[in-house]
Amino acid sequence: MTIIHGAIRGYAMQIIYWINKTMRLILLILAILITNPVMAERAYTPVIERNKLYVLDNSNPKIRLTVPLVINKTDWLVEESLKDINGITYLAVFHREPSTSDQPEGFCGSGTELWLHIYKVQKNKVNFFGRVLASSCKKSFSMASLESGFLNSDKDYSSFQWTHSGFSIDWFSKKDESGKDILKTVYSITSKGIYPE
């Protein structure tokens, strides 16, 4: 009787061993399948070198795409600055320019206009796609995060957030044509341009 029990116990241990081994293999395969799309989604990485902005192709790090910046005085939004929308990668960069460079002593003479520039990264090329005014001395509005009053808040762009179809911006003191406060604007990116929803 003990020999039979020992044999049954031996077979049971072998079965448990093979079940555990099979389960580990299944979990490993699932982990690979789940993480691969996440890794594949991040096809590019932004890099700043010598005050120039590049985009590296993650599939071939030797490919370095120069971002054709349209304004010299530039603030960089590098963290979470790339987003895939409908199979196309977009890059977000903030640019500052003087509000009234032609009249430095006049209204907003020392003020700035902050533009959010969106670039399209496609086919080993980076092209300017469109822009949105993100802060304006002349129009007296700003992104909410720039007005928090905390240290270095003038470089806090966290009010900008990517969405599945574009991006959103939370506002500080922005009003519509009728004078009502606008707290947030959601923008869609389509093949034709950038549009508020």
pLDDT digits (tens), the chain, 197 positions:
555 544 455 554 555 545 555 555 554 454 444 544 443 445 788 888 877 888 888 888 788 898 888 765 566 665 568 899 999 999 999 888 888 767 766 678 678 889 999 999 988 899 999 999 999 988 999 999 999 888 888 888 899 999 999 999 999 989 898 989 999 999 999 989 999 98
Residue 57: closest CA among 128, 127, 130, 125: 125
Phi, psi values for residue 33, rounded to 5°: -65, -35
Q: Are 112 and 135 in contact (CB under 8 A)?
A: yes
Q: What is the rounded distance in angstroms from the CA atom of residue 135 to the CA atom of residue 158? A: 13
Instruction: Give the bridge partners for 120, in sequence order.
Output: 90, 127
Q: Is 103 helix (H, G, I), strand (E, B) or coil?
A: coil
* pTM of the shown model: 0.72
Q: Are 129 and 194 in contact (CB under 8 A)?
A: yes
> How high is the pLDDT of residue 57?
87
Amino acid at 185: T
